[in-house]
Amino acid sequence: MEDKRFLFEKDSVPHALWVMAMPAIASQLITLVYNLADTWFVGRTNNPQMVAGCSLVLPVYMLTVVLSNIYGTGGGTLIARLIGRGDNEEASRVSAACLWMALASAALFSFLCLIGMTPLLRFLGASDNVLPYSKQYMFFVVVIGGIPVILSNTMSSMLRNIGRSSQASFGLSMGGLLNIALDPLFMFVILPDGKQVMGAAIATMLSNLTVLAYFIMTYRRVGAETILRVRMQGRYPSSESMASIFGVGLPAASSVFLFDLCNIVINRLSSTYGDTHLAAIGIVLKAERLPLNIGIGICLGMVPLVAYSYSSGNRERMDAVFRFGRAMGLIVGVVSVILYFTFAPVIMQSFIGDAETVRLGTQFLRARCIATPLMFLCFSMVHFTQAIGMGKESFRLAVIRQVVFNIPLLFIMNRIFGMMGIVWTQVTADFFTVIVSYIIYAGIRRREGWPVGI
């Protein structure tokens, strides 16, 4: 553990963030590729209904991330703070409790998705032509595959928060590469023509099951030398720890849930313009996640370092990590705007050959990419408040971004400007969100007695 202690306490900030963030970024990118793979391979059919069917399930799939954030973020950041205070025994109890709570939540979620599949997909905007494809995809990816996704993401977060970022990222990356390999096999070789969506879904499900097996073996292997546990030994976590898990975990989950809810609204509003518009925006919502996932990887690498420094009382290092991470994310955001605006037609053509879908998607992507730097500023602020255990502030930031600005503006701008109003909402909402978030950030620093600055 001494090498990890040096990383958290004395290593240079750029190198420490590099060590923690690079595996997380790699994992986020490969996970993104694996999420994009289904859409890309299904797009080879040039069937907008199939593409729309997969896209409609994305908000439901994202609910698995919501659940894993409760225990992965809530429990993981608490573990980092407990280690910073030297309370390793309580950290072990927290790690085991979070896994069992994640398993119970995952099983309930899968059951509810099974019994409510058709009405849920209808609510999301599935037409008669799209519904059969959405049901195929949702059954294998969410109903069966939801449990391994939730457990794997929870375990990955636990590993990352004790400094095992490379092992955490390897598991998720392995699943992404496996999915890319299995997609064409099941879609175009094993299953007959017309079952491409089912083939993509089965490939994703098998990949997620393999990732879960990896994390279970990893937990068993590192258990002797870390605080991570699978079985409850001795006492349960204290009531204070349980309150902290949910105090940070629920706001973290609500942030993802509200983001997911925003995508649901986008899909619902877009579906009123036809299946081609829905397919185009579905591709854009996935394609635009490349820089966002890099930014999330930076934030994930930043969180354990900030949490440890905060608990050990090293405010100077905490600020240095946050500011350096934020600067790196902004650079990524600005570069992505330039590249997306330039290569939008090429990006859309790589997903689907349908000319109208490409034309619409090019317009949508060029508009939405402008919000990327602003979105990263929002993400970094939310992750910072989670790292220092301020769940209420994290929840407030999520509500302000989605409920106060984004979702109302979607309806307003759709009514005034039509489909392009929907597309331009993100940059408009995030402009105001960044202003408010930094006002809240300044208030936190004044309350904690830290120098006020950005």
| pLDDT tens sequence across 118-143 | 898 888 777 788 888 888 889 998 89
In-domain check, residue 375: yes
List all residues 6 or more positions away from 192 whose beta carbon is below 8 Å from its beta carbon. none
Terminal C-alpha separation, the chain: 33
Q: Is residue 12 part of a domain?
A: yes
The tokens 């100077």 sit on which residue? 316
* 346-to-1, 173, 229, 437 alpha-carbon distances in Å: 47, 26, 47, 35
CA angle, corner 168, sides to 185 and 303, nearest 5? 130
C-beta separation of 150 from 67 below 8 A: yes
Instruction: Confirm if 258 and 399 have CB atoms less than 8 A apart.
Output: yes
Domain membership of residue 454 (yes or no) is no
- Rounded Cα distance between 437 and 252, Å, is 16
Predicted pLDDT at 108: 94
| Amino acid 448: pLDDT | 85
Say if residue 41's pLDDT is above 70: yes
Distance (Å, whole) CA 13 – CA 11: 6
Task: State the DSSP H helix or E strand holding residue 167, giving kind and residue range, or none if neither.
Answer: helix 165-185
Here the tokens at position 62 are 């994202």
Q: Which of 97, 100, 76 is nearest to 162 (CA)?
A: 76
Q: How far apart are CA 73 and CA 249, in angstroms?
A: 6
Token pair listed for 302: 């930043």
- Domain of residue 194, residue span: 2-448
Output the pLDDT for position 234.
65
Give me the pLDDT at residue 31, please: 65
In a domain, 453, yes or no: no
Six token digits for residue 325: 């991470």
Q: What is the tens place of the pLDDT at every residue in 382-424?
A: 889 988 878 788 888 888 998 999 999 999 999 999 999 999 9
Query: Which structure tokens are listed for 56?
Result: 């409609």
What tokens appear for 396 in the block? Answer: 């407030």
In a domain, 43, yes or no: yes
- Residue pLDDT, tens place only, 195-208: 888 888 898 899 88
Contact between 277 and 51 under an 8 Å Cβ cutoff? The reply is no
State the Cα angle at 22 between 327 and 230, rounded to 5°.
120
Compute and round to an integer the Cα radius of gyration of the chain.
Answer: 21
Which residues are CB-neighbours of 6 under 8 A, at least 6 positions away?
Answer: none
Cα(158)–Cα(161) distance, rounded to whole angstroms?
A: 5
> Cα–Cα distance between 337 and 453 in angstroms, integer?
27
The phi, psi pair for 125, rounded to 5°, reads 110, 15
- Tell whether the model's pLDDT for residue 2 goes beyond 60: no
The pLDDT tens digits for 135-181 are: 888 999 889 988 998 998 888 888 887 777 777 777 777 887 888 88
**Contacts from 392-396 at CB under 8 Å and sequence distance 24+?**
392/247, 392/251, 393/440, 393/444, 394/248, 394/251, 394/252, 394/255, 395/250, 395/251, 395/254, 395/255, 396/440
181 within domain boundaries: yes
pLDDT in tens, 244-272: 888 888 877 887 788 778 888 898 899 88
Q: Which two tokens stand for residue 76?
A: 């993981």
| CA trace torsion 21, 25, 27, 28 (10° rounding) | 130
d(CA 351, CA 230): 41
Collapsing DSSP states into helix, strand and coil, what is residue 231? coil
Residue 48 pLDDT grade (very low, low, confident, very high; cuts 50, 70, 90): confident
Q: Which of residues 128 and 323 earns the better pLDDT score?
A: 323
Structural domain total, the chain: 1
